[in-house]
Amino acid sequence: MSEGEIVDARGLGCPQPVILAKRALEREASVLVIVDNAIARENVRRLGVSSGCDVQTADPGDGTFRIRLTKRPGADLSRAEADLTSCGSEAAASGPFVVVLSSDRMGRGDDELGGLLVRAFLHVLGEQERKPDAIIFYNGGVRLAVKDSPALEDLEALAAAGVEMLVCGTCTNYFNLTADVAVGTISNMYDIAALMSRAGRLVQP
């Protein structure tokens, strides 16, 4: 068997090793991924397992990890993005998939880390086979949708892919950012509440 493509993901932070591995698997039947930390190794391994690949890992003792992913017959890369949180309700599945961003940070603790996490989340969201139907921005989340936002490029890509974006007008007025909104539609709480009430999946990272 051909060795296939080699993905050198050393020095890359999450989620880049997984994204590069998935793209390589879309081109090749066998991929060797080289990473330099245990978290990346586990994330790439999980990608392979959830996609139906044979997975072999090796630690050559030089500070790197090598993960061989080989597609088996019937392997399906889209399974790596399956909705694992679904409760199985047909009614829930019938509504739109909506992401709600109420802050320009993700999680609590260190603000700098929170900013990195939310940008990584939006980047990964754009890489998914199934993208959200809509993203709602309110409170501090509206800062993500303005000019000079570090997340603007990923948001523009999502918008170009057809993702609807509603930006709370009350919030942009409060922060004096209305003139700076660069992506999405400035909206109101009536429309935001209506969209949230119809959602089959409502995700707030």
Instruction: Output the CA–CA distances (angstroms, integers) from residue 133 to 41, 95, 113, 157, 165, in the order listed.
Output: 31, 10, 27, 14, 9
- Architecture category of domain 5-80 in CATH: 2-Layer Sandwich (3.30)
Per the listing, tokens 């409170």 go with 139
Per DSSP, 181 falls in state B
Residue 91, pLDDT score? 37
| CA dihedral for 90, 202, 78, 3, sign (positive or negative) | negative
What's the rounded Cα separation, in Å, for the pair 124 and 157? 12
10-residue mean pLDDT series, the chain (205 residues): 78 83 89 91 86 90 93 73 37 73 93 94 90 95 96 95 94 96 92 88 89
Q: How many CB atoms lie within 10 A of CB 2?
A: 7
| Cβ contact 201:97 at 8 Å | yes
Residue 90, pLDDT score? 39
CATH 3.30.110.40 positions along the chain are 5-80
Angle (nearest 5°) at CA 117 between 113 and 119: 120
| Cβ contact 175:143 at 8 Å | yes
CATH 3.40.1260.10 positions along the chain are 90-203
Instruction: Output the CA–CA distances (angstroms, integers) from residue 180 to 33, 34, 130, 147, in the order listed.
Output: 41, 41, 29, 6
Q: Please check whether the domain covering 90-203 is classified as CATH 3.30.450.20.
A: no
Against a cut of 0.85, is the pTM above it?
no
